[in-house]
Amino acid sequence: MKSLIELVVTVAVAVALAFLIQAFIVKPYRIPSGSMEPTLSIGQRILANRVIEHPSVGDIVVFHPPAGADPQPAACGVSDEGGDNERACDVPTREESSQTFIKRVVAGPGDVISIVNGHVIRNGVREKDSYTYQCGDAQGCNYRTSIKIPPGDYFMMGDNRGESDDSRFWGPVPDKWIIGVAFFTYWPPDRIGLL
């Protein structure tokens, strides 16, 4: 009887630790779309570190976008911005969406950006983006009028620039809506490794 009680307690502690780790430290996610190709493919699985202070430019993050990402087409927080082929959305809607997105941070608080042929020009310097697919003729490939990222916000874009629904259309993401930074991919087996 004593060994049965020990087994039950051991299993209960293991399950509790697993739930705590997932809730507060590391959480798995599945890539639902091709917006992060070629870096992450549809169905690939990643782990996100939930213990972060602030993400850095270049980090792949898991987050809740502004509610403007919910409708199709996406809605910018200021009705005359975003989607006009001159200026990316720089004011998100105020509400947080319940969706979970995975994108790359391309600009942080205070950065000034424009987008030329799908490439981010951040503070006057073109990003080093060998990890991206060409943007092509898709909407959002060129927003030549610069915008400034507000304090505490981050501008997100998918690596598949011509096929990504991202901050260009619904605006920057407040720091408090960022869930974690992706750091490891564990499925499929041939893609296992650090990000």
pLDDT tens, residue by residue, 23-82: 567 889 999 999 999 999 999 999 999 888 789 999 999 999 999 999 888 999 876 544
Closest CA to 152 of 188, 117, 123, 109: 109
At residue 83, does pLDDT exceed 60?
no
173 CB burial (10 A radius; 0-12, 13-18, 19+)? buried
Q: What is the pLDDT of residues 152-178, one digit of tens each?
A: 999 999 999 999 999 999 999 999 999
Query: In whole angstroms, what is the distance from residue 181 CA to residue 178 CA?
Result: 8
Report, as an integer, the average pLDDT of 88-115.
96
Residue 55: phi, psi to the nearest 5? -75, 165
Query: In whole angstroms, what is the distance from residue 73 CA to residue 169 CA?
Result: 8
Percent of the chain clearing pLDDT 90 (strictly above) = 70
User: What band does 86 get if pLDDT is binned at 50, 70 and 90?
Assistant: confident
Average pLDDT, the chain: 88
Model confidence, pTM? 0.87
Q: What secondary structure does DSSP assign to 66-90, as a single string?
A: BGGGSSSS---SSTTSSSSSSB---
| CATH architecture for segment(s) 2-194 | Ribbon (2.10)
Domains of the chain, by residue range, sit at 2-194
At residue 5, does pLDDT exceed 70?
yes
At residue 78, the pLDDT reads 78
At residue 183, does pLDDT exceed 80?
yes
Single out the catalytic residue among 27, 33, 35, 164.
35
At residue 84, does pLDDT exceed 60?
no
Single out the catalytic residue among 97, 103, 114, 164.
103
* Active-site annotation holds for 35: yes
